[in-house]
Structure 1
Amino acid sequence: MGELKETVRPAPGADGATPAFHKQQWDHPLIGSMLRDAGFAPDDEASIVPTANNHLAVFAAASKRLQDRTETFNRDMTARHGHCHAVPFLVIDQKIWDGPHGAFLYAQMGLIGYDEWNVIMLAGDPQTTASCGLAGHPGFLPSVTQVMTEHVIAWKARHNALLETYGITATGSRDISHEGYEMEKDTLRNEIIDKAGWMKPRIIDDLLRAQG
């Protein structure tokens, strides 16, 4: 049960994937039976995880998309205002993604910090603030990092509790199905995205007030 709880359940269909559950788990008289009762199968696409190389490719593609969006934003704003050098700011910042809770966000929730839901465009120089009205990029906001770290820890705990509930019911009571777990996980994922969206205007307002 402990092994199952710690297993990462990513999005299905990734190239170069390997089984999410080890062979020993499928051969285990309790765990293997539980997995099959819950609707998993050893060769099911829903039971695969991306390899390390695939994770790197996904992150590289997301980084390239962010670079393209930034260039497009700067080009459009320059055409409108005469000058724009905007720089992306991550609501859930790189320190969190690179820390002990990053794997929960990208492997279990299927989120990538470079995607638009987590990005604010802020001014990279004073001229951009003057011409475009963007708040200046602060580089790093410890207060935001602390707040978002606390949220991520709480979200991770909720997901762990969901996995435990899923494991307990899969052995007997069946209060929650495989589909129910996926629905609950999607709800949590959307909550994370919505929280980042809720934070964006508040971060901007705080920066504009602080920067005068």
Structure 2
Amino acid sequence: MFERRVVFGKKQATSGDLTEPLRPAPGADGAAPTFHKRQWEDPRIGPMLRDAGFAPDDAASIVPTADNRLAVFAAANQRLQERTESFNRDMTARHGYCHALPFLVIDHKIWDGPHGAFLYTQMDLIGYDEWNVIMLAEDPQTTEACGLAGHPGFLPAVTQLMTEHVIAWEAQHNALLKTFGITASGGRDISREQYEMEKDTLRREIIDKAGWMKLRIIDDLLRKS
């Protein structure tokens, strides 16, 4: 249970060497990019977007370049490393010892897979942010000193379950886009305001599900330790 951990990419890492993923994501402090250039250029979809109040030169309405996403993702990765170091310092001050590592509820296999783009491009979510991270014990001494569950490295059952949820959320968002009229197959039956409201509700559902899963994962790990 206490070997080195994979955290969000293809390489193994310790708390001092958090890896960067293969697929970058937008920043938590920036607006959510939404539409690809090809959608603006489409003679059917482009006019719909403009009529709905979106603008192709609005940074919140277009997908950023790969370089921009890489820069934002690198910053998110750095924030997680800083939070991990701060957590270990604080817990060491309280308990005399702590070596914790982050565990991602929606893990790197999902973010780097075919559905990762939905999470970071459409939902403006980053896997390194607090909502998706649990701090778990890297070694038995940390479990004994701090009471943290041991880091499992990888939980295939959790990955499978969360993959199913992400697929369902993506399908729900695609249906919402069709209702709004972003795709050629649907009419605009809802306003932009309602679309944004329902999109925010879906985003909150994803974050809440990750929060619920944190408690379940910790519970299961403590029971098995």
TM-score bracket relative to the smaller structure: 0.7 to 0.9
Q: C-alpha distance in 2, partners of 1:159/1:139?
A: 31
| Other structure's SS at 2:102 match | strand
Residue 224 of structure 2 corresponds to residue 206 of structure 1:
no
Question: 1:59 Cα shift?
Answer: 1.0
Match of 1:21 among 33, 37, 61: 37
Q: C-alpha distance in 1, partners of 2:71/2:140?
A: 35
Aligned length: 197
Contact 1:34 1:170 in 2 (8 A): no
Alpha carbons of structure 1 residues 169 and 154: separation in structure 2 relative to 1, 3 Å: closer
What amino acid does structure 2 have at the position aligned with 1:143? A
Q: Please identify the structure whose Cα radius of gyration is greater.
A: 1
Question: 1:182 Cα shift?
Answer: 1.0
Contact 1:169 1:176 in 2 (8 A): no
Question: 1:39 Cα shift?
Answer: 1.4
Contact 2:45 2:182 in 1 (8 A): no
Contact 1:77 1:83 in 2 (8 A): yes
Q: In the alignment, what sits opposite 2:209?
A: 195
Match of 1:52 among 63, 66, 71: 66
The structure carrying a bigger helix percent of its residues is 1
Question: 1:98 Cα shift?
Answer: 0.7
Residue 195 of structure 2 corresponds to residue 167 of structure 1:
no
Match of 2:146 among 103, 126, 132: 132
Residue 145 of structure 2 corresponds to residue 144 of structure 1:
no
User: 1 or 2 for the larger relative contact order (CA 8 Å, sep ≥6)?
Assistant: 2
**TM-score calculated relative to the size of structure 1:** 0.84
Question: 1:167 Cα shift?
Answer: 1.1
| Other structure's SS at 2:97 match | coil
- Please report the RMSD computed on the Cα atoms of aligned residues, expressed in angstroms: 2.6
| Other structure's SS at 2:136 match | strand
1:145-185 CA deviation, whole Å, 9 max, x = no partner? 11111100100000011111111799996431112111111
| Other structure's SS at 2:37 match | coil
Q: C-alpha distance in 1, partners of 2:116/2:183?
A: 28
| Other structure's SS at 2:134 match | strand
Q: In the alignment, what sits opposite 2:132?
A: 118
Contact 2:110 2:116 in 1 (8 A): yes
